[in-house]
């Protein structure tokens, strides 16, 4: 079954009900936390491959998640082998399964403001395919080569990577600034899945990178968008979006959480992955349909507790 977005999206007519935020001096409607996508926003996601959602969380909610993220990225974490340690500097730089052992992140992956947006794009029945977090400590955070997540996920058996098959919400847990190695996207780059090659030059793990010539060609036509915003802001992007980031050489940390969802009829068949997994938690173990959201204020309740 395929979904047409117009059938799913509740179009909100009243202009004044939008909230706005500013990126590079441009005023962008983000719809606000509780609001459904407008059809313009859906169109932007479909053509550009991403949508900046602006601030989704309050300052207090973002602060709680940030504190929990630091705990998650420490050796004290319960699921120790869901964390990856950079062999060069001994820093934990990547965490998988972030919704498994901390309630705040379990709630974050199931907030109505996130699930409803995902359902608007992927259809009513969705599941969590992967959760991960990139800790980019001040002065130590690694660059990420240009890549498409779906190149890896295809090897894991996810059968389709189209814009209505799988999508990721990236949640900023620190402010993302031009200096601290923000996520960067190449808009409109989601049009084809590149085979990718194993780039082992990073200190961390080998990434299935997009070939340099292809990246240069895409950049020439579409440019690069750095994803900036205050902690608690989010961006949504599709699985074939070419993205990466620079090192964090600034004095400020930059931590992002990534929640990847897929629609119910886009599932791996359980065959072994064609790539080597660096953690037993690289993909989510629980892929049940997310029928229920938590309360909209679930994270605020944890703040108050």
Ligand X SMILES: O=C(O)CCC(=O)C(=O)O
205 binds ligand X (CB under 6 A): no
Give yes or no for residue 245 binding ligand X (CB under 6 A): yes
- Chain residues 7-36 in contact with ligand X, contact rule CB under 6 A: none
- 86 forms part of the interface with ligand X (CB under 6 A): no
Please, how many CA atoms are within 13 Å of residue 189, restricted to the half-sphere of its CB? 31
The Cα 299–Cα 301 span in angstroms is 5
Q: How far is the CB of 263 from ligand X (least distance, A)?
A: 20
Q: Is 284 in the site for ligand X (CB under 6 A)?
A: no
Contacting ligand X (CB under 6 A), which of 123, 187, 244, 253? Answer: 244
> Minimal distance in Å, beta carbon 243 to ligand X?
5
State the Cα–Cα distance between residues 75 and 81, nearest whole angstrom.
10
Kindly indicate which of the ranges 76-84, 99-107, 219-227, 242-250 contains the residues binding ligand X, using the contact rule CB under 6 A.
242-250
- Residue 243 is a binding residue for ligand X (CB under 6 A): yes
CB 34 within 8 A of CB 20: no
Q: How far is the CB of 98 from ligand X (least distance, A)?
A: 12
Q: How far is the CB of 186 from ligand X (least distance, A)?
A: 12
CB atoms near residue 123 (< 10 Å): 20
Does 256 contact ligand X by CB under 6 A?
yes
Residue 70 φ/ψ, nearest 5 degrees: -65, -35
CB of 184 to ligand X, least distance (A): 8
Q: Does 235 bind ligand X (CB under 6 A)?
A: no
For ligand X, the closer of residues 100 and 132 by Cβ is 132
Nearer to ligand X by C-beta: 134 or 190? Answer: 134
Provide, rounded to whole angstroms, the least separation between the CB of residue 139 and ligand X: 15
User: Which x/- pattern, by CB under 6 A, does the window 159-198 give for ligand X?
Assistant: ----------------------x-x---------------
Which parts of 103-142 interact with ligand X (CB under 6 A)?
A: 132, 134
Q: Is 251 left (phi over 0), alpha (psi -120 to 50) or beta?
A: alpha
* Footprint of ligand X (CB under 6 A): 132, 134, 144, 149, 181, 183, 243-245, 256, 258
């Amino acid at each position: 079954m395929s979904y047409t977005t117009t059938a799913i999206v509740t179009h909100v007519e009243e202009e004044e009900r939008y909230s706005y935020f500013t990126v590079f001096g441009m005023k962008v409607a983000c719809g606000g936390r509780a609001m459904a996508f407008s059809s313009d926003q859906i169109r932007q996601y479909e053509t550009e491959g991403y949508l900046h959602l602006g601030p989704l969380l309050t300052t207090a909610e973002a602060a709680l998640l940030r504190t929990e993220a630091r705990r998650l990225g420490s050796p004290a974490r319960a699921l120790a082998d869901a964390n990856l340690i950079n062999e060069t500097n001994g820093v934990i730089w990547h965490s998988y399964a972030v919704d498994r052992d901390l309630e705040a992140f379990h709630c974050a992956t199931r907030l109505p403001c996130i699930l409803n947006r995902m359902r608007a794009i992927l259809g009513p029945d969705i599941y969590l395919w992967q959760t991960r977090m990139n800790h980019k400590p001040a002065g130590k955070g690694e660059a990420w080569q240009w890549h498409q997540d779906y190149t890896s996920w295809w090897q894991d058996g996810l059968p389709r990577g189209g814009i209505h098959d799988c999508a990721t919400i990236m949640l900023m847990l620190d402010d993302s600034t031009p200096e601290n190695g923000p996520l960067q996207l190449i808009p409109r780059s989601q049009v084809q899945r590149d085979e990718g090659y194993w780039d082992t030059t990073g200190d961390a793990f080998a990434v299935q990178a997009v070939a340099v010539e292809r990246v240069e060609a895409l950049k020439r036509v579409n440019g690069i968008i750095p994803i900036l915003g205050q902690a608690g802001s989010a961006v949504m992007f599709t699985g074939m979006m070419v993205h990466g980031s620079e090192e964090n050489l600034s004095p400020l940390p930059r931590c992002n959480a990534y929640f990847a969802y897929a629609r119910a009829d886009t599932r791996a068949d359980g065959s072994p992955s064609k790539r080597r997994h660096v953690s037993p938690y690289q993909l989510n173990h629980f892929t049940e349909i997310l029928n229920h959201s938590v309360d909209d204020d679930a994270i605020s309740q944890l703040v108050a507790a």
